[in-house]
């Protein structure tokens, strides 16, 4: 009887030791880590912006998702099963709530609810946008039709001054120049309407706040409507200034003057539980055109 009990006890000890080894032998941070519970065999849930979004326009062009067909027409090959969201906050909320999602947002809007992956080994940062190592980057433009009236010109002068560009940098973007002039200002009064990109809106709100603080008689209305809508408003005269988070199209440049006010990176974001840390441009493209459909295909 004692012999049987001893054999059972030895079997239990061996079993416990084996389970312990199995749990600790899995590399930390891998797709199979029990503490992470990330199943790499699951489908990649692609999250993209809507048509007309400046962020989408810049992203698909830089990554190579925008291609020409046999007739020479540009075609956006974004995955037809992608979840489409109308705004930066909506993209972040979707990715933050879905362990298997991936999306893209303005670098200046990035927060700790999601994770920005490296691209070609470079972190998504203002410094790397400025030194050129982070390749997914685009300009923020203001556009206007004809000649600027005195108030709009003075606001533009403030944005491009040392004081205005300091706000751009504080908000996580890259300033458009060096050796910038100080803002001298003048006694301005009146109303301005600035409409367009949801990505440009956050920094524009800060610039507006600072400018209105120096001019008690000025009121600036910011309309977050999307880049294409902003250009249309500037052309039609319903906005004094249009915001675009991309280069202006030839058709827009035929009627508008564009002025870069900042440079911005486009961060490729995943859920914080995703162990992926770095992607190549080719991998990003393959995900967003629907060629890579499972996380296990990304090595």
Fold of 140-262: D-Maltodextrin-Binding Protein; domain 2 (3.40.190)
How confident is the model at residue 240, as a pLDDT? 98
Residue 52's nearest CA partner among 244, 257, 193 is 244
Domain ranges for the chain, please list them: 45-138+267-297, 140-262
- List pLDDT tens digits, range 24-81: 343 333 333 334 689 999 999 999 999 989 899 999 999 999 998 888 788 999 999 9
Q: How far is CA 34 from CA 23, 26, 27, 270, in A?
A: 8, 8, 10, 19
Which token pair is 281? 């441009």
Q: What is the 3-state secondary structure (H, E, C) of the chain?
A: CHHHHHHHHHHHHHHHHHHHHHHHCCCCCCCCCCCCCCCCCCECEEEEECCCCHHHHHHHHHHCCEEECCCCCEEECCCCCCEEECCHHHHHHHHHCCCCEEEEEEHHHCCCCCEECEECCECCCHHHHHHCCCCCEEEEEEEECCCCCHHHHHHHHHHCCHHHHHHHHHCCCECCCCCCCCCCCCCCCEEEEEEECCCCHHHHHHHHHHHHHHCCCEEEEEEECCHHHHHHHHHHCCCCEEEECCCCCHHHHCCCEEEEEEEEEEEEEECCCCCCCEECHHHHHHHHCCCCCEHHHCC
> Model-level pTM?
0.70
Instruction: Give how far the C-alpha of residue 247 lies from the chain's centroid of Cα atoms, to the nearest Å.
Output: 16
Same fold, 45-138+267-297 and 140-262: yes
DSSP H/E element including 125: none
Which token pair is 227? 């880049």
Q: How far is CA 36 from CA 27, 29, 110, 129, in A?
A: 11, 7, 23, 31
For helices 227-236 and 54-63, what crossing angle results, to 10°? 120
List per-residue pLDDT tens for the chain, 299 residues long: 544 445 444 454 444 444 444 443 433 333 333 346 899 999 999 999 999 898 999 999 999 999 988 887 889 999 999 999 999 999 999 999 999 999 999 998 999 999 999 999 999 998 899 888 999 999 999 999 999 999 999 999 999 999 999 999 998 888 988 889 999 887 889 999 999 999 899 999 999 999 999 999 999 999 999 999 999 999 999 999 999 999 999 999 999 999 999 998 999 999 999 999 999 999 999 999 999 999 999 87
45-138+267-297 has CATH 3.40.190.10 classification: yes
């Amino acid at each position: 009887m004692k012999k049987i009990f001893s054999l059972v006890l030895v079997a239990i000890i061996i079993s416990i030791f084996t389970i312990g080894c199995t749990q600790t032998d899995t590399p930390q941070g891998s797709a199979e880590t029990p503490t992470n519970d990330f199943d790499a065999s699951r489908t990649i849930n692609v999250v993209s912006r809507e048509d007309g979004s400046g962020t989408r326009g810049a992203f698909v062009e830089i990554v190579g998702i925008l291609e020409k067909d046999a007739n020479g027409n540009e075609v956006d090959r974004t995955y037809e099963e992608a979840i489409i969201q109308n705004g930066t906050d909506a993209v972040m909320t979707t990715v933050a709530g879905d362990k298997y999602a991936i999306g893209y947002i303005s670098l200046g809007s990035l927060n700790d609810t999601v994770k920005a992956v490296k691209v070609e080994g470079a972190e998504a940062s203002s410094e790397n946008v400025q030194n050129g190592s982070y390749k997914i980057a685009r300009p923020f433009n203001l556009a206007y039709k004809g000649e600027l009236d005195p108030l709009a010109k003075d606001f533009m002068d403030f944005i491009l001054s040392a004081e205005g560009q300091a706000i751009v940098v504080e908000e996580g973007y890259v300033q458009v120049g060096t050796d910038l002039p100080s803002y001298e200002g003048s006694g301005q009064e009146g109303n301005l309407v600035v409409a367009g990109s949801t990505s440009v809106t956050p920094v524009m709100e800060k610039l507006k706040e600072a400018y209105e603080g120096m001019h008690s008689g000025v009121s600036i209305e910011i309309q977050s409507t999307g880049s294409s809508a902003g250009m249309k408003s500037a052309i039609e005269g319903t906005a004094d200034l249009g915001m675009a988070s991309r280069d202006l199209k030839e058709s827009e440049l035929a009627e508008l003057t564009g002025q870069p006010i900042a440079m911005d990176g486009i961060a490729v974001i995943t859920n914080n539980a995703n162990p992926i840390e770095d992607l190549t441009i080719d991998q990003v493209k393959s995900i967003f055109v629907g060629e890579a459909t499972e996380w296990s295909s990304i090595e």
